[in-house]
Structure 1
Amino acid sequence: MCGRFDQSQTARYYASVFGWADALYDSAADPLYNVAPGTYRPLMHIQDGVRRVDDVFWSYRAKWAEGKVPICVNARMDKLANRYWAPLLKKGRAVVAAEGWYEWTGEKGHKQPWHIHRKDGQPLFMLAIGNFGTLDAQRAEHRAEAGFVLVTDDAAEGMLDIHDRRPVVLSAEDAALWLDPAISPEQAIELARQSALKPDQFEWHKVSPMLNRAGSDGPQVALPLED
């Protein structure tokens, strides 16, 4: 899964690296080292043929599912074709750029956070799906209806010591294909399965337990923790 991530560069920086310097921006979110669910974060998507970088609420629940389905922050890749996620997979594919994501090991009360990132230092382009309609997302009761979730998959060999699931990360080129409305939902799922970056392209280090508090931020929360 992914319950926090490091998005400590600006939205314009990530869009430039992605090759989207000409995108339409509607983002005022500040860079954060410790992004938590329930916040508005910049993500890249295509709406009505226009490349957009918008601040979107990280959490989602369909309006019809209130009282039936919990609010989600992730969606399993093997469930994307089901009734719940299929509409978002068809019209709401997105990419969240970040420096890394966090996972925890250890027992409750003694959880150790880890920062997971690319070995080459390049940004991660994490796959997401969301609802980018015209819902009144400013009203608290509607925020999760106009939100997004990160796509996750089983953690492959080499990452299981950290967690059994991980966000699906693609190269910039493959992530751009994921966004292309010309490819079908079935093709998008196959792309995600075949092109996800492998475990040997990542590395991780322990970080300070101060990360455990959602309000903690700053470069110190992402620095390697000395043993």
Structure 2
Amino acid sequence: MCGRFIITDTAPDLAAMFDVEHEGENLPEPSWNIRPTEQIPIVLESARTDPAVRRLESARWSLIPSFATESTSKFPTFNARAETAAEKPTFTASVRSRRALVPATGYFEWQTEGTTKKPYFIHSDDGMPLAFAGLYSWWKNPAIAENDPARWVLSATILTTDAQGPLAQIHDRTPVPLPEEWWDQWLDPATEGNQALVDAAVAASREVVASLNFYEVAPVTGNGPELIEPIEPTASDSL
């Protein structure tokens, strides 16, 4: 799973990195401790224009399906299992045509040893941001007036898959980081998504996963660059 991650790049940096044509309003500032339901930057392509426009937008990290009657859910929606995303009602429509990239400098994962949980910071070997395969949805809040722009809520989730290699020693699930050559295909709303597309994305992500590094960090509390300082400066293991 991915329950905490960080993004230290600014909105203009992300816009340049992902060839974004439109930057949305109220984009979140860099954060070293992003939690579910907080606002995150996502990259998407709008199907309302021809050709589609690549946009950087602020989204709630926990997907609200368009058919929901309220923003809360009985089960967590900040992650979506890649193996079943296309068949789950919560995510089916998003897999079909509302796919996103979720930029991340890295993410935290906890290894359980008895009653102790050790946090690790997982990141790319070259320090470049990762692009997690994500899904998004627009939800109309029935409690807000029709003419209020806040009535429309953009939300997103991060796809996860089985962890492999050394990462599996920390946790059995991992996000799906897409290689750059997959970005256009994943975002293209004209490409009708299905389980085969998700499976292919997971397969492509393995090369990125193989290049990740990780190291143990102190308990993840607060918000600042000190959260990703290694407990042992030489404890980084290459996957």
TM-score (norm 2): 0.81
Cα distance, 1:89–1:137 mapped onto 2, change above 3 Å: farther
**Aligned equivalents of 2:143 and 2:55: distance in 1?**
19
Structure 2 residue corresponding to 1:156, chosen from 140, 157, 164: 164
Superposed, 1:117-196 pairs within 5 Å as 117-133=123-139, 135-136=140-141, 146-186=154-194, 188-196=197-205
Amino acid paired to 1:50? V
**Aligned equivalents of 1:163 and 1:51: distance in 2?**
33
**DSSP-derived class of the 1:90 partner:** helix
Cα distance, 1:177–1:30 mapped onto 2, change above 3 Å: same
Structure 2 residues not aligned, in runs of 5+: 145-149, 234-239
Please say if 1:72 is aligned against 2:77: yes
Alpha carbons 1:58, 1:149 under 8 Å: kept? yes
Alpha carbons 1:104, 1:114 under 8 Å: kept? yes
**Aligned equivalents of 1:152 and 1:113: distance in 2?**
18
Residue 7 of structure 2 corresponds to 7
Deviations 1:34-86 (A, max 9, x none): 11111011111012222111111011243448698424110000111114111
Q: How many residues align?
A: 219
- Report the aligned-residue RMSD: 2.7
**Aligned equivalents of 1:100 and 1:71: distance in 2?**
21
**Aligned equivalents of 1:37 and 1:93: distance in 2?**
18
Alpha carbons 2:97, 2:192 under 8 Å: kept? no
Alpha carbons 1:7, 1:99 under 8 Å: kept? yes
Cα distance, 1:106–1:74 mapped onto 2, change above 3 Å: same
**Aligned equivalents of 1:38 and 1:91: distance in 2?**
22
Cα distance, 1:57–1:115 mapped onto 2, change above 3 Å: same
Q: CA deviation at 1:206?
A: 1.0
Please say if 1:60 is aligned against 2:32: no
Residue 98 of structure 2 corresponds to 92
Residue 205 of structure 1 corresponds to 215
Please say if 1:37 is aligned against 2:46: no
**DSSP-derived class of the 2:57 partner:** strand
Residue 105 of structure 1 corresponds to 111
Residue 51 of structure 1 corresponds to 54
Q: CA deviation at 1:88?
A: 1.1
Q: Which moved more, 1:199-208 or 1:1-10?
A: 199-208
Amino acid paired to 2:4? R
**Aligned equivalents of 2:223 and 2:143: distance in 1?**
25
Alpha carbons 2:95, 2:193 under 8 Å: kept? yes
Q: CA deviation at 1:137?
A: 9.5
**DSSP-derived class of the 2:94 partner:** helix
Alpha carbons 1:178, 1:191 under 8 Å: kept? no
Residue 217 of structure 1 corresponds to 223
Q: CA deviation at 1:119?
A: 1.0
Amino acid paired to 2:86? A
Alpha carbons 1:77, 1:151 under 8 Å: kept? yes
